[in-house]
C-alpha cells in the first residue's frame, strides 16, 4: 500500500506539501484501487508521518518533504519515493509503481532529493 498526499478528498493529484495534505490516498499497488483517509496529523510533518505509519502503508510518495519526516518514515520501514516535483495523478503513480520507475529516496541521496517546500499551512487542518 502506498500513501499519497492529497489536498482534498475528491482530488486524484498529489499534493505539493506532504505534512499539510488534508488527506491521503492509500493505493493498492497490485490492483490500482484506493481509499482516501483523513490526515489526522495535518499541519505537522512528524504527526503526518506517524499517521502514514499507522495507516498500514508500506511506502509513500511526495512532492515536497523535509528531512525529519523522511527520517521518521525510513526508521519505521516505510519506503519513500519522490514525484520529482511533478504533479502526478493516482493513475500516473500506479503506472510508475507497476513499471518499477519510481525514484526511491535513500540515505545516500536524500540530501539531493528532499525539499521541504514552504512552511505555511495551506490546508484546512481539522476543519471538518
CB contact set of 103 (below 8 Å; sequence gap of 6+): 81, 82, 84, 113
- Domains belonging to the chain, first-starting first, are 2-113 (3.30.420.130)
If 0-12 CB within 10 Å is exposed, 13-18 middle and 19+ buried, where does residue 111 land? exposed
Convert the pLDDT of each residue in 10-47 to its tens digit. Answer: 999 999 989 999 999 999 999 999 999 999 999 999 99
pLDDT on residue 117: 81
d(CA 48, CA 7): 13
Convert the pLDDT of each residue in 6-15 to its tens digit. Answer: 999 999 999 9
Convert the pLDDT of each residue in 98-124 to its tens digit. Answer: 999 999 999 999 999 998 886 544 444
d(CA 5, CA 54): 15
pLDDT on residue 121: 47
The answer to whether 6 and 63 have CB atoms below 8 angstroms apart is no
Amino acid at each position: 500500500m502506498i500513501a499519497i498526499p492529497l489536498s482534498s478528498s475528491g482530488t486524484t493529484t498529489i499534493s505539493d506539501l506532504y505534512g499539510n495534505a488534508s488527506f491521503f490516498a492509500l493505493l493498492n499497488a497490485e490492483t490500482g484501487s484506493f481509499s482516501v483517509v483523513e490526515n489526522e496529523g495535518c499541519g505537522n510533518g512528524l504527526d503526518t508521518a506517524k499517521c502514514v505509519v499507522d495507516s498500514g502503508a508500506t511506502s509513500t510518495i511526495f512532492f515536497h518533504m523535509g528531512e525529519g519526516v523522511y527520517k521518521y518514515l525510513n526508521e519505521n520501514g516505510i519506503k519513500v519515493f519522490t514525484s520529482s516535483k511533478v504533479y502526478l495523478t493516482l493513475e500516473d503513480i500506479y503506472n510508475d509503481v507497476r513499471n518499477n520507475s519510481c525514484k526511491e529516496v535513500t540515505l545516500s541521496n536524500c540530501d539531493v532529493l528532499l525539499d521541504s517546500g514552504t512552511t505555511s499551512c495551506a490546508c484546512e487542518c481539522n476543519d471538518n
